[in-house]
Structure 1
Amino acid sequence: MSYPKRLALAVLSAATLMTILDGSIVTVALPEIQRDLGFTAAGLSWVVNGYLIAFGGLLLLAGRLGDLLGRRSMFLLGNAVFTVASLVAGAATGPALLIVARFLQGVGSAFASAVALGILVTLFTEAGERKVAIGVFSFTGAAGAALGQVLGGVLTDAFGWHWIFFINIPIGLATLALAVKVLPADRGTTRAGKADVPGAALVTAGLMLGIYTIVGVEQHGWLAGRTLGLGAVSLALLIAFAVRQNLVRDPLLPPRIFGSRSVSGANAVQMLTVSAMFAFQILVALYMQRVLGYNALQTGLALLPAAAAIGGVSLFVSARLNTRFGERAVLLAGLTLLLGAMLWLTRLPVHASYLTDLLPMMVLIAGFGLVLPALTALGMSGADAGDAGLVSGLFNTTQQIGMALGVAVLSTLAAARTATLLTTGAPAAEALTGGFRLAFGIAAGLLVAALLVAYTVLRPATNAAPVPGPAPVP
């Protein structure tokens, strides 16, 4: 791999790391933000939700705009918006300004993240180099969430919550400076005027409203009028978008994209897997804090072995295994390890030993370091060069939807089980543990479904077949 390509990979990975970190780094600082800025309990959730809604809702649109207008331009714009928004967030003196800044951070993250994979697969065309590049890229994503919790705790304790945002500024500026020099310029595949603007409005509104509905489930419930009403409107918008894509000449999301089994299968497997992994990323941390009594920094440090295992496998092992055995086989092996981890968690006791009850599970979690690079390679293998940004945006969109669904479904079920146990007179720690065990069992079921989809849909003979590209623009 040449030096310029290494620099380009570093730029793409750094931007992705900022995006992943920003989704988790803020969680441990929320109590201090609430005390300092005077947030209400309901308003505080928007520090997280404002980012998630903008990020998840705009990914698909940003990916397609990258194909139309140029992926490098979209990447630079996204990083610039994210960096400026980070400055505003760190300097915020009231709730409203912080929420607006978080929404803008989500916009910037969507613009940059949606095209990052598209740039990567068009830059690294040789098979061996691409596998290594995807392994490095996946490392930053897989390890970033766990590192965010540790870094958030350290920065908040040492310097205050403002620095969880200020730290993005030097990274963002360096990324922009290098990106201008090392990322290849591209003109896009068609004129901006041919973009499907009504379709873009439908899918963006549908996704944003859908994610907004999902993140509110824990507070309002699945059967509340608000949830059912907003969910119905979101579904109607997305159905209208799907119908339109079959009728217009230049669709935002061409239906032919889903003709590739690798694209369809990889996105389905990713949604199921990410939903299940919420049980590890968030519920295990809650178990450590609310049942075992760990503080935020202790929890982050306790999760470091998992981050190290995931990162080490994705960085040093996954590319070699993918080359030797193929992505599908490696994906199935990684999903099996994750299933073992979730099943292990279903037996967690109230009084757990870190060494015997938690550490073995974190070794099995290393399977995520196999799953993510394999899924990325499979999902992007079905993308023609002209659709790389769109497929990249789609891949990131299913990841965010899976995360939102995991939060809504698993946390709601865990809370309901805990409430039931409390009514029977169970001690608080035992009731909480019972709720977490149920969520881990549901997560195991999601991984079984992911294994079945991967085995039946992602057939080896069809993985390498790309989606036919769009007709050349005169």
Structure 2
Amino acid sequence: MLILLMACVAQFMLILDDTIVNVALPTVGEELGFSESSLSWVVNAYFLTFGGFLLIGGRIADRVGPRRMFTIALAAFAGASALCGLAWEPEVLVGARAIQGLAAAMLSPAALSILLATYREEPGRGRALSVWASLIGLGAATGLLAGGVIVELLDWRWVFLVNLPIALLALVLVPRIVPADDQRDARTSPNVIGATLGTLALLLLVFTVVETEHAGWTSTRTLLGFAGALLLAVAFVASERRSASPLLPPALLRRRRAMVANAAVFLGAGGLLAMFFFQTLFMQRVLGWSALSTGLAFLPFSATMGVMSAIAGRFLMRIDPRLPIGVGLLAAGGGLWLMSTLTPASSYAGHLMPSLMLTAGGLGIGFVVLMDLATGGAEDRDGGLASALLTTGQQVGGAIGIAAMVTIATTRTESALADRIAPPQALTDGFTAAFQVQAGVMAAAAVLAVALLGPAARRSRAATTQALAGEATT
């Protein structure tokens, strides 16, 4: 239980940093002298390095051992958080946020690898993953609440400094409760060229996506960025095929269920994080709520996702996973569609809260099962990499989802303003368009998962592991 608590607290801290800084951005920009165009990099620098370095972080964790990697990365994250809190100019804060993201990319797969190695069998594994899955929504929603409280009652610097006592406590507990790493086989040299190409492809992809806020999706700069990321990805695949020690072992990629689950998590996370982004704007800019009130409004979301994740982990891991995944993601899509009917006159209790709870309940059910499929069957030596693939889907999906929805919402809002529609309604029209697309993406994730998982999804984890072992010996 202590290992589960420690791993989840560390992951919670990382997800918290996805959103906790959002409500502090206006104050940060004013105090440190950020320009309007550069302020977004306080958020984007974290997304960029977190999403870009996850795969190599997972492979490093597998080679040096998850406990050792967890300790080093956690110390680095704490140091970067301290530097963020002490930042005296914009460049220092953005650089420290990039270091935070890099440390997070090393820490997250190590934490999940420790959890998976500790809980190998059902029902303990399902319950542990249910807690882990609930952290996605809980951490993001709590970040908004914590950011609002800190900005209003303390100082924006505590948005980052709050990480220090959490990290220090975890560092004290690690050697006492986490078993030592087993001996790792380091005789085969890693595919350094492949790791470099894969990391550069992810970095360029995430960088290009987050910059569409300024450059646009059809600009020459954006198209060249996507073309460059594609070329790097092709080069990465070619390098992996020639390597004796690939970054992504073929046996891992042949796990069809895991690849489908990762794709569904990619789509689902994009809708989830974009929802937080636009709901925050709707509550503050349209309804006129304070940062603290906005954060409190997400508490039912956190509670519902936590409860439904626990139910999924306890009761739904024994049945055909297509049922909870399909029902859960479709319910989440229904909640997002309900959000698209919001108006400036909508009430919280009658409209906003039910849509949040329906979305949270669906994600709580679907994400636990998806995470089990994404990580189940991976051997201990590949646990960090399987975890990294899953978290890469979350982070990159979130970054792409937010960027794509911003473009859709902005286009609709500008069109409404040109038609002389009042600003609150024009903003709402933009958010409505974004929520509708998010609902469609969530429905597509449900269809993708149910259609591609197929009857093979009924196989047990033990059978899958046995099949993988057979493949490895042929």
- TM class by shorter-chain length? over 0.9
Q: Residue in 2 aligned with 1:468?
A: 468
Of residues 306, 315, 325, the one that matches 2:319 is: 325
Deviation at 1:258, TM superposition (A): 2.1
Give the 3-state SS of the residue equivalent to 2:245 in structure 1: coil
Q: Does 1:427 align with 2:422?
A: yes
Separation in 2 of the partners of 1:330 and 1:213?
34
Between 458-467 and 448-457, the greater mean CA deviation after superposition: 458-467
Q: Residue in 2 aligned with 1:349?
A: 343
Give the 3-state SS of the residue equivalent to 2:342 in structure 1: coil
Q: Residue in 2 aligned with 1:437?
A: 432
User: Partner amino acid for 2:404?
Assistant: V
Q: Residue in 2 aligned with 1:178?
A: 173
Give the 3-state SS of the residue equivalent to 1:309 in structure 2: helix
Of residues 448, 458, 468, the one that matches 2:453 is: 458
Of residues 5, 12, 27, the one that matches 1:10 is: 5
Q: Does 1:217 align with 2:212?
A: yes
Of residues 29, 32, 54, the one that matches 1:34 is: 29
Of residues 78, 96, 100, the one that matches 1:101 is: 96
Give the 3-state SS of the residue equivalent to 1:325 in structure 2: coil
Between 185-194 and 95-104, the greater mean CA deviation after superposition: 185-194
Of residues 291, 299, 320, the one that matches 1:304 is: 299
Per the alignment, do residues 462 and 95 of structure 1 end up closer, same or farther by CA in structure 2, a change over 3 Å counting?
same
Separation in 1 of the partners of 2:266 and 2:134?
19
User: Partner amino acid for 1:29?
Assistant: A
8 Å contact from structure 1 (residues 79, 108) kept in 2: yes
Deviation at 1:10, TM superposition (A): 0.8
8 Å contact from structure 2 (residues 45, 101) kept in 1: yes
User: Partner amino acid for 1:166?
Assistant: L
> Structure 2: where are the runs of 5+ without partners?
none
8 Å contact from structure 2 (residues 320, 458) kept in 1: no
Separation in 2 of the partners of 1:373 and 1:9?
15
User: Partner amino acid for 1:406?
Assistant: G
Give the 3-state SS of the residue equivalent to 1:246 in structure 2: helix
User: Partner amino acid for 2:436?
Assistant: G
8 Å contact from structure 1 (residues 245, 255) kept in 2: no
Per the alignment, do residues 451 and 266 of structure 1 end up closer, same or farther by CA in structure 2, a change over 3 Å counting?
same
Between 183-192 and 240-249, the greater mean CA deviation after superposition: 183-192
User: Partner amino acid for 1:415?
Assistant: T
Separation in 2 of the partners of 1:188 and 1:318?
35
Q: Does 1:362 align with 2:356?
A: yes
Q: Residue in 2 aligned with 1:69?
A: 64
Deviation at 1:457, TM superposition (A): 1.7
Deviation at 1:298, TM superposition (A): 1.2
Separation in 2 of the partners of 1:405 and 1:389?
24
Deviation at 1:294, TM superposition (A): 1.3
Per the alignment, do residues 69 and 445 of structure 1 end up closer, same or farther by CA in structure 2, a change over 3 Å counting?
same
Q: How does 1:71-220 map to 2 (within 5 A)?
A: 71-187=66-182, 189-191=184-186, 194-220=189-215
8 Å contact from structure 1 (residues 56, 208) kept in 2: yes
User: Partner amino acid for 2:351?
Assistant: D
Separation in 1 of the partners of 2:228 and 2:440?
29
User: Partner amino acid for 2:338?
Assistant: W
8 Å contact from structure 2 (residues 61, 69) kept in 1: yes
Give the 3-state SS of the residue equivalent to 1:293 in structure 2: coil
8 Å contact from structure 2 (residues 274, 398) kept in 1: no
Deviations 1:294-340 (A, max 9, x none): 1211111112111111122223x122222453443222221121011
Q: Residue in 2 aligned with 1:21?
A: 16
Separation in 1 of the partners of 2:209 and 2:390?
19
User: Partner amino acid for 2:468?
Assistant: P
Deviation at 1:193, TM superposition (A): 5.8
Of residues 407, 410, 414, the one that matches 1:412 is: 407
Per the alignment, do residues 81 and 433 of structure 1 end up closer, same or farther by CA in structure 2, a change over 3 Å counting?
same
Per the alignment, do residues 188 and 338 of structure 1 end up closer, same or farther by CA in structure 2, a change over 3 Å counting?
farther
Query: Percent of pairs identical after alignment?
Result: 37
Q: TM-score, normalised by structure 1?
A: 0.95
Separation in 1 of the partners of 2:94 and 2:380?
37
Deviation at 1:192, TM superposition (A): 7.0
Q: Residue in 2 aligned with 1:232?
A: 227
Deviation at 1:414, TM superposition (A): 0.7
> Structure 1: where are the runs of 5+ without partners?
1-5
User: Partner amino acid for 1:329?
Assistant: L
Of residues 366, 371, 387, the one that matches 1:392 is: 387
Please report the RMSD computed on the Cα atoms of aligned residues, expressed in angstroms. 1.7
Deviation at 1:402, TM superposition (A): 0.6
Q: Residue in 2 aligned with 1:3?
A: none
Deviation at 1:471, TM superposition (A): 5.9
8 Å contact from structure 1 (residues 261, 462) kept in 2: no
Q: Does 1:378 align with 2:378?
A: no
User: Partner amino acid for 1:152?
Assistant: G
8 Å contact from structure 1 (residues 199, 245) kept in 2: yes
Q: How does 1:329-340 map to 2 (within 5 A)?
A: 329-340=323-334
Deviations 1:111-160 (A, max 9, x none): 11022222211111121111111112222332010000000111121110
Give the 3-state SS of the residue equivalent to 2:123 in structure 1: helix
Q: Residue in 2 aligned with 1:286?
A: 281
Q: TM-score, normalised by structure 2?
A: 0.95
Give the 3-state SS of the residue equivalent to 2:40 in structure 1: helix
8 Å contact from structure 2 (residues 137, 301) kept in 1: no
Per the alignment, do residues 346 and 224 of structure 1 end up closer, same or farther by CA in structure 2, a change over 3 Å counting?
same
Per the alignment, do residues 323 and 471 of structure 1 end up closer, same or farther by CA in structure 2, a change over 3 Å counting?
closer
Separation in 2 of the partners of 1:363 and 1:160?
31
Give the 3-state SS of the residue equivalent to 2:303 in structure 1: helix
